[in-house]
Amino acid sequence: MIDLYTASTGNGRRATIALEECGLSYKVHKLDLAQGDAKKPDFLKINPAAAVPAIVDPDGPGGKALMLAQSGAIVLYCAEKSGKLIPKDPAKRAEAYQWFMQATTDVAPTSSNIFYISSHVPVKDPANTAYFEQKLLAQCAVVDKQLQGRDYIAGEMSIADVALYPIVAGRKALIDAAPGLANLKAWAARMAARPAVAKAIAANG
Ligand SMILES: N[C@@H](CCC(=O)N[C@@H](CS)C(=O)NCC(=O)O)C(=O)O
């Protein structure tokens, strides 16, 4: 049984969706970030970076316990452990890696910037928020094009979909209000309807 340390955030949901989609059993430990749970000594032993998600797998590689942070790394770990979500065909696999990276290193940071710029930075300016919202929509437009004629980003359900979905779901109001993006909106509805995704969102909050 994998212990999952998470919170109601996109990164937390990404890890939970990966565990569910891969059929791995896990126990949820919810952290209250506003109360500083991530900075408490017990959790820092698991992730010194003081951030969720993190997992502890008592049955890690070689039968040894494994502690792992970073939502993207957790998605990859679950996929490798279960043999799911990574296409067998090398070309499709490479494509899944490309879009996994687009979600984790392009789209997710843009979404985080919207959050920090509108609520955390010392000087707030709506124009800066608008800049990053437009950037996010432009990144979404690239995925929308990729989804033309495809149900899932790399053709089959993969790590790319797991990595992107929580961000798109978290920015639903912005994306729904934007013109076009029909393929992306249909994909988001398809993802939401997957039993594993719905179960993960319910478990993670
Ligand atoms: N790149 C990391 C980001 C992790 C991260 O920033 N987590 C946030 C929540 S989404 C967090 O735990 N922040 C600590 C805090 O707010 O105390 C990942 O993908 O896991």
User: If phi over 0 gives left and psi between -120 and 50 gives alpha, with beta otherwise, what is residue 60?
Assistant: beta
174-185: pLDDT as tens digits: 999 999 999 999
CA 60 to chain centre: 22
pTM, to two decimals: 0.95
Pocket test for ligand 1, best of 44, 71, 113, 164 (most atoms within 8 A of CB): 71
Residues of the chain with pLDDT under 50: none
Protein residues whose CB sits closer than 6 Å to any atom of ligand 1: 7, 9, 11, 33, 38, 50-53, 70-72
Find all residues with CB under 8 Å of 51, minimum gap 6, and list them: 11, 38, 69
**Atom number in ligand 1 closest to CA 14:** 19
Residues in a beta bridge with 3: 27, 56
Closest-CA residue to 113 (of 124, 98, 99) = 124
Identify which of 6, 9, 47, 76 to mutate to test ligand 1's pocket (most ligand atoms within 8 A of the CB): 9
pLDDT at position 101:
98
Hey, what domains does the chain have and what are their CATH numbers?
Answer: 2-84+198-204 (3.40.30.10), 90-195 (1.20.1050.10)
Closest-lying ligand 1 atom to the alpha carbon of residue 70? 20
Give the integer Cα–Cα distance in Å for 113 and 132. 7
